[in-house]
Structure 1
Amino acid sequence: MTLLAVRDLTVGIGGAVLVDGVSFTLDPGERLGLIGESGSGKSLTALAVLGLLPAGATVTGSITLDGRELVGLGDRRLSALRGRKLAMVFQEPRTALNPLMRVGRQVAEPLHHHGLLTRRAARTRAVDLLADVGLPDPAHTARAYPHQLSGGQLQRVGIAAALACGPALLLADEPTTALDVTVQAEILALLDRLVDEHGTALVFITHDMAVLARVARRVLVLGKGKVLEEGELDSVLRAPGHEYTRTLLTAARAASFRREA
């Protein structure tokens, strides 16, 4: 059974078409990578799935989650799905988290908001979730404010909050771009482990083919809002069919060479 189906999705802002007829499907537990340069439409596609497009954006086409149409669904109904059925890990955790709220409370909030646990039980569960994402002394970390943690620690907090309610679908928008290479590898390994353990479907958004190769099994290549290539990741890596994909692969190899040097 298909978990997510995006059909002929078009997103326009200020008269410009930024996502142009994008279509793809995702099965339960499947991992899909959306790759493209800045402005390719990959992040807007994810925000359309979440119903978090900027004010003034126009959307046509269809987005269904477990057969339920999301396009045109009111914010109240979308809010009931966010965190519970689908969730997102954002690129910059310092802006995604509330700087005035302790991180344990932010991890616990989705559990309480969706009525899965009492507030007290949710905060206890939050400590377990912080431990699960590899944060040392999770009880102490739960009492910290975001400014007291490193970027890598904050991204782990963001992952814990996103997975707290056991969503069927996780969208990760460039979650390692702001991190150094060592921490980046740790976060990718963490995501790889957690989506396997939870059976979560993953849409991973990036501009870096080398990063994508660590977590995705299938790839959708976007350029100027259009789907340029789609296929199993191994096949696309071996024999890319579009010049744009070959350019992304060349860039990934050059970046890998620089890191090794």
Structure 2
Amino acid sequence: MTLLEIDDLTVRFGDVTVLDGIRFALDAGERLGLIGASGSGKSLTALAILGLLPEEAQVRGSIRLDGVELLGRSDRELSRIRGNRIAMVFQEPLSALNPLMRVGKQISGPLRLHRGLSRKQALAEVISLAEKVGLPDAEHLVRAYPHQLSGGQRQRVGIAMAVASRPALLLADEPTTALDVTVQAEILSLLEDLVTEQGTALLFVTHDLAVLAQVVRRVLVMGEGRVLESGSLEDILSAPTHPYTRNLLELARAASFRRAPEAAR
């Protein structure tokens, strides 16, 4: 069943077109990757889905969730969807965390707002979520502030916040880029486990084809605001048709070759 459908999504800033006729659909529970270099439009596509583009953006086309059009809706209407039906994990979790609020309270926000849990119920669920995302000594860490956690721990908090309301669609925008290789692998495994457990659809945004290959089944390659190529992960890896995709694949192979000696140390 189709969960998300994007048709002819075009975004302009003044005379500059940054997204040009984007079209794709995502089924419930499916894992789809958006890959491209910086400036390709992949992150803008995710922000457009959430209705978080700057006010000066000129947007046309269609973004439908569960058959309901999202473009043109007020921020108040979209706020009922964000964190509920759609949630997002950001590249740098500090951008999504309030530095003045304990992380446990931030995780409990979606639980109380969207699931209607009492304070006591929310606290129990916060501890459960913190343990599920692999935070050590969860009962202690949920009382910490963001600056007291490591980068990997903050990203786990961001994931806990995103999945707290059991969204139908999870957007992950470069969620492992700022992490070292070991923590990166742990976060990717965690995301895969959570979306499988909850039956959540995943839209994973990255510039790294090697990372993408670990979590998705279908890929859209973006460049200069357009979808250049799409297909199954297997087809994209084995027989890419666009020169841009072939270049991404060569870069991924080179990066994998460079990491191999480091892993053997």
Q: For this structure pair, what is the TM-score category when the shorter chain's length is used for normalisation?
A: over 0.9
Amino acid corresponding to residue 42 of structure 1 in structure 2: K
Query: What SS does the aligned partner of 2:9 have?
Result: strand
Tell me how far 1:123 sits from its aligned partner: 2.4
Q: What is the CA deviation profile of residues 190-213 of structure 1, one whole-angstrom value per residue up to 9, with x for unaligned ones?
A: 111111111100000000000000
Are 2:89 and 2:159, in contact at CA under 8 Å, matched by a contact in 1? yes
Q: TM-score, normalised by structure 2?
A: 0.97
Superposed counterparts of 1:85-96, under 5 Å: 85-96=85-96
The alignment partner of 2:53 has SS state of coil
Q: Which amino acid aligns with 2:95?
A: T
Alignment partner of 1:234 is 2:214: no
Q: Is 1:48 matched with 2:48?
A: yes
Aligned residues: percent identity? Answer: 66
- 1:115 is displaced (CA, Å) by 4.8
Q: Which residue pairs with 2:14 in the alignment?
A: 14
What is the Cα deviation at residue 234 of structure 1? 0.5
Query: Is the 2:172–2:205 contact (alpha carbons within 8 Å) kept by the matching residues of 1?
Result: yes
Q: For structure 1, which runs of at least 5 residues remain unmatched after alignment?
A: none
Q: Higher mean Cα deviation, 211-220 or 13-22?
A: 13-22
| Other-structure match for 2:3 | 3
More moved, 177-186 vs 8-17: 8-17
Match of 1:254 in 2: 254
1:181 match = 181
* Equivalent AA in structure 1 for residue 184 of structure 2: Q
Is the partner of 1:215 in helix, strand or coil?
A: coil
Match of residue 97 from structure 2: 97
1:179 partner letter: L
CA apart distance, 1:114: 2.2
C-alpha distance after superposition, 1:65-101 (max 9, x if no partner):
0011000011001000111100000000112111000
Residue number in structure 2 paired with 1:130: 130
Q: One-letter code of the match for 2:225?
A: G
Aligned partners of 2:115 and 2:165 also within 8 Å: no
Q: SS in structure 2 opposite 1:11?
A: strand
Residue 160 of structure 1 pairs with residue 160 of structure 2? yes
Q: Deviations over 1:136-191 (max 9, x none)?
A: 11110110000000000000000000000000000000000000111101100111
Q: Secondary structure at the match of 2:144?
A: coil
CA distance in 2, matches of 1:78, 1:121: 26
Partners of 1:155 and 1:198 in 2: CA distance: 19
Query: What number of residue pairs does the alignment pair up?
Result: 261
> Counterpart in 1 of 2:142?
142
- In structure 2, stretches of 5+ residues that fail to align are none
